[in-house]
Amino acid sequence: MLATKDVKQLISEHEFLRGMDPKHIATMSEFAKLKVVHENEYMFRIGEEADCCYLIRDGCIAIEVRHPSRGPVTIQTLGANKVVGWSWLTEPYKWQFDGRALALTRGVCLDSKQLREACEKDHEFGYQLLSRFVPVIADRLEATRIQLLDLYAP
């Protein structure tokens, strides 16, 4: 399936970018590439340069943090139609967590440096992109806050 569609089409179909102007889709497809992450493979590691924004088509990426005594602790999992990574949006542009595939995961990777440049060059594009990121960030912040409550604690 993946191979038969071109990157541009995959981007335009992704839920995260729904309603985006075709010319902006075209802009992004210039620096987009397909990316497959195999089960248990790390897609990114904490502290590495956040060089990519990843649109998941299918599969599952776990956001993990290494705990000295407990090993990796999964904080959140992200699956089909979700977007992974906004560390590239703010300095120092480094991943804040580990990202590991829990299953074979396929999607599209947008080059983050070029994304930033495109935003800088075309503020309308930047606005359209950020107005999609802000709800995602708000959503994850809310989820984190609920998680903090430790609802089912003894």
Partner 1 sequence: MNSPIADPMLPRPFRIQSVRKETTDTFTFELAHPEEGSQNGFEPGQFNMLYVFGVGEVAISISGDSAEPGKLIHTTRAVGTVTQAMARLKPGQVIGVRGPYGRGWPIDDMQGQDIVVVTGGIGLAPLRPLLYRVLANRGRFGRVVLLYGARTPNDILYKKELERWRGRFDMEVLITVDRSTGGWRGHVGVVTQLISGAPFDPYHATAFICGPEIMMKYSVDALTKRGLPSERVYVSMERNMKCAVGFCGHCQYGPKFVCKDGPVFPFTEVKRLLDIWEV
Distance separating alpha carbons of residues 64 and 2, to the nearest angstrom: 27
Distances, alpha carbon 123 to alpha carbons 88, 119, 129, 132, in Å: 17, 6, 10, 14
- Interacting positions 19-48 with partner 1 (CB under 8 A): none
Q: How far is the CB of 152 from partner 1 (least distance, A)?
A: 4
Residue type, 31: F
- Interacting positions 75-104 with partner 1 (CB under 8 A): 75-77, 79-81, 102-103
Q: Residue 107 has which token pair? A: 């999607």
Element (H, E) at 51: none
Give the residue with the Cβ less far from partner 1, 3 or 70: 70
Give the residue with the Cβ less far from partner 1, 90 or 147: 147
Element (H, E) at 6: none
Give the residue with the Cβ less far from partner 1, 81 or 128: 81
> For partner 1, what does the binding mask look like between residues 114 and 143, x meaning CB under 8 A?
-------------------------x--xx
Distance separating alpha carbons of residues 117 and 122, to the nearest angstrom: 9
Residue type, 125: F
Three-state secondary structure call for residue 85? coil
Q: Which of 74, 117, 124, 138 contacts partner 1 by CB under 8 A? A: 74
**Interacting residues with partner 1 (CB under 8 A):** 62, 67, 70-77, 79-81, 102-103, 139, 142-143, 146-147, 149-154
